[in-house]
Every structure is written in C-alpha cells, then in structure tokens.
Structure 1
Amino acid sequence: MRSLPLDGVRSVVAIGAHPDDIEIGAGGLLLGLPPGVRVRYVTCTGTPDRHAEARAAAAAFLPTADVSFDLHCLPDGRLPAYWAETKAIVEAAARAGDADLVLAPARTDQHQDHRLLGDLVPTAFRDTVIMHFEIPKWDGDLTSRQVYVPMTVETARRKAALLSQCFPSQTSRDWWDDEVFLGLARLRGMECRSRYAEAFDVDRLMLRLGTAG
C-alpha cells in the first residue's frame, strides 16, 4: 500500500456537526499534524458547555497548532431543517482562507446532521482535498474506505483517553468507551497493515507531476 506524508499540510479546516465529531473521526490525524499548522474548528451545534468542551479538546489534540474557532448553536439533530443556515456556515468557513486539507463527516453517514455536512462541504471547498471521516454509532453505517492514517499504539490510546477527558458530557452514553474507539481503529489498522488507523473517504485528489505547470 502506497503512502503520502502529511507533513506538508499547513492549514486545515475541520468541520463537525457536533462538538466531538472531529475528534472521534480524526483525532489521530490531528495528533499527528506538524507543529505550527493552522486549524479552523467549525461546529454547527452545541450549548455553551459543549462549546467549552470543543475548545478544551482542540487544546489537547492540537497543543502546537494555531487554532481558531467558529462554533454555532443550531439545534442538534435538526440540521436538515436548517439547510440554508448550515450551508452558510460551510461557505463562511470556505471563504475564511485557503486550506490544504478539509476534514468533514462522510457522505454515507446515517446521522442526518453528519450526512448533510458530508454533502455540503464539497460544494463549498471545490479546490481542496476533503477527507471525510467516520463516526461509529448504533446505525451500523460503517463501510469500506479508501484512505488510511495509521496510528501507533500510543497515539490510538491517547486519542481514546482524550475523548473521555475532553468530553465528560458524553461518557455516560452506552456506546462511548475505549473498546468502541480502539476496536474500530484496530479494524482499520488491520486493513492497512498497521496496528491502529483511522479511515476516510476522499472526493477528489490531484497528483502533480514534476513537469506540470
């Protein structure tokens, strides 16, 4: 399996429907980004307490990054009913500046809020690599993915620990535990010959030859 380095990424836009989406789907990738990377965190829903969790998570997962926030409070579970407002949030994130990489939920996600973002993000970020992350849930919507980001054992365990540390409001949920997060990471790791990994879909990827203009 061929690999490409992420150390050339200098600017990232991370978009989630809810606080914790980004970290669940791409926390390992965030922990591996190079120092000094600029990251814009965008969430569409959340209370002040949940927004505080998102800020704490960004500080924990991106301790050496230059992080800015665009946190909104649309109703959880109702984003399709707020289509225009959600699209405006995504378009504002695209106008905020050039990004080397965009992280967003998968188009195949069965949660209506996640799926809407998965569909809207490519309409606003037309010239940027978009990696669509996956979020485990009772809907059973996991499917095959095309792109893998391997994680060391240390990184995978740190991700799981930080999720519970940064999002205490969610730890009482019956699906929220290290076994779920590490189990999915182990499965994706097996698929790419690593111990652990995160997996993504990518809409478009352009490879430039050395002689290309």
Structure 2
Amino acid sequence: MIEFSLAGVRSVVALGAHPDDIEIAAGGLLLSLPAGVRVDYVLATGVPARQDEARAAATAFLAQGTVAFHLHDLPDGRLPAHWNATKEIVEAAARLGVPDLVLAPSTDDAHQDHRLLGSLASTAFRDSLVMHYEIPKWDGDLSRRTTYVPLTLEQGRRKVALLHEHFPSQKARDWWDDEVFLGLARIRGMECRSHYAEAYTVTKSVVTF
C-alpha cells in the first residue's frame, strides 16, 4: 500500500450533483483538510431550502478554510437531459484556476446525475488530482476502490453528527442513519488498516521523480 499526503493542498473544487452528496461521500476528507484551504463548492441541482442546508453544512465541515459557493438549480434527476448546462457548470469551475484537488462523483455511479458529473470532471480538470467519491444508495453500486482517506473514530463520528445536524430534510429516508454511514466507513477502514475511512477512485495519475 502506497501512501501520499494531502497536507500541501491549498485549493479544492468539490463537485456535487445534489445537496449532501459531497458531505456524505467526502465529509471526512473535508474535516481533514489543512487550515487555510480554499474550497470552491459546486452544486448542479437544489431548491433554495436544500441549498441553504448545503451552505450551512459546508461551512461547518470547512470551518478552518474559505468556501466559495457556486450553487445551481438544474432539475434533480434530469442532468443528462441538460448536458450542455451541466458541462458549462463543470467548465466554469475549471476556469477558476488549477486546483490541487478535485472531488467528484464516481464515473460508475448508478445515479445518472452523479455519473454525468463524474465523467465531465475527468476531462475538465486535466491538470489536477481528481478523486472520485462513492455514495451508498438503494441501487447497490458500491465497488472496489483504489484510494483511501483514513479517519479516526472521532472524525467518523463527527462527520455523521454534522450530517444529521445540517440535513434535517433527509432524516425520513430509510437509508439515512448511523449504521449506513459508519458501517461503510468501518468496512473501508478495514481495507486500509484504519478504524474508519472514505474510499475514492483515482483513474489517472503521473509518477514524477
């Protein structure tokens, strides 16, 4: 197992199809980012109430950094039908600069909105490290991942507490509970010899000496 550090990361673009995607998938990584980091937080869909939840959540998860919000209101579940608009959202984020790290959905995600956003990220951010995250869901699309972010017991529990605090609109969903979030984190932690972890896929990287 090869280790590399994100300690030098100073700029991040976080792409989400829906409010709560980024926090569910990468909330532990957000909590682990170094102080002073700048995050461009980009959402493709979301009604005003849900966008308010996302703003509050991102501010809490990134309390040690600076967050710039880029929130859009394309229709949930219909991003492939709005391909041009979705591509422009991703390319507009890429025009902000060359970030050290990009967080995006997995390209093999079963949800069409996630899958489209993930595929567009890979082409728009050619000179950045792109880490594709996973989101547990009814479709059962979890698969083998290549990259892990270990989390301590405290970080894992803090992530879940913030999810509950900032996304009250989702609490009625039958999958929204500690066992789902911490169960997946425990399995991913086992895979990288940590208590908890988040898992990602990096599809292309370059080794330099």
Normalising by the residue count of structure 1, what TM-score does the alignment of the two structures yield? Answer: 0.97
> Counterpart amino acid of 1:131?
M
Q: Once the two structures are superposed, what CA deviation does each residue of 1:139-192 show, in whole Å capped at 9, x if it has no partner? A: 000000000000000000000110111111111101001110000000000111
1:206: how far off?
2.0
Question: Does residue 201 in structure 1 map to residue 201 in structure 2?
Answer: yes
Question: Does residue 66 in structure 1 map to residue 66 in structure 2?
Answer: yes
Alpha-carbon contact 1:131-1:202 (below 8 Å) kept: yes
1:122: how far off?
0.8
1:137: how far off?
0.1
Q: Which runs of 4+ in 1 moved over 2 A?
A: none
Q: Which residue of 1 aligns with 2:100?
A: 100
Separation in 2 of the partners of 1:205 and 1:52?
A: 35
User: Residues 55-204 of structure 1 correspond to what in structure 2 (within 5 A)?
Assistant: 55-204=55-204
Separation in 2 of the partners of 1:151 and 1:64?
A: 17
Separation in 2 of the partners of 1:195 and 1:66?
A: 29
Alpha-carbon contact 2:57-2:166 (below 8 Å) kept: yes
Alpha-carbon contact 2:46-2:76 (below 8 Å) kept: yes
Question: Structure 1 unaligned runs (5+)?
Answer: none
Q: Which residue of 2 aligns with 1:9?
A: 9
Alpha-carbon contact 1:188-1:199 (below 8 Å) kept: yes
1:2: how far off?
2.3
* Paired residue secondary structure (1:107): coil
> Counterpart amino acid of 1:178?
D
Separation in 2 of the partners of 1:207 and 1:190?
A: 27
Alpha-carbon contact 1:134-1:199 (below 8 Å) kept: yes
Question: Structure 2 unaligned runs (5+)?
Answer: none
Normalising by the residue count of structure 2, what TM-score does the alignment of the two structures yield? Answer: 0.99
Percent identity over paired residues: 68
* Paired residue secondary structure (2:150): strand
> Counterpart amino acid of 1:143?
S
1:5: how far off?
1.4
* Paired residue secondary structure (2:186): helix
> Counterpart amino acid of 1:174?
D
Q: Once the two structures are superposed, what CA deviation does each residue of 1:36-59 show, in whole Å capped at 9, x if it has no partner? A: 000000000001111111110111
1:72: how far off?
0.3
* Paired residue secondary structure (1:42): strand
Separation in 2 of the partners of 1:67 and 1:38?
A: 6
Separation in 2 of the partners of 1:77 and 1:64?
A: 33
> Counterpart amino acid of 1:166?
H
Q: Once the two structures are superposed, what CA deviation does each residue of 1:114-143 show, in whole Å capped at 9, x if it has no partner? A: 000111111111111100000000000000
Separation in 1 of the partners of 2:123 and 2:208?
A: 23
Separation in 1 of the partners of 2:151 and 2:36?
A: 20
Give the total of aligned pairs: 209
Alpha-carbon contact 1:129-1:203 (below 8 Å) kept: no
Alpha-carbon contact 2:15-2:103 (below 8 Å) kept: yes
* Paired residue secondary structure (2:42): strand
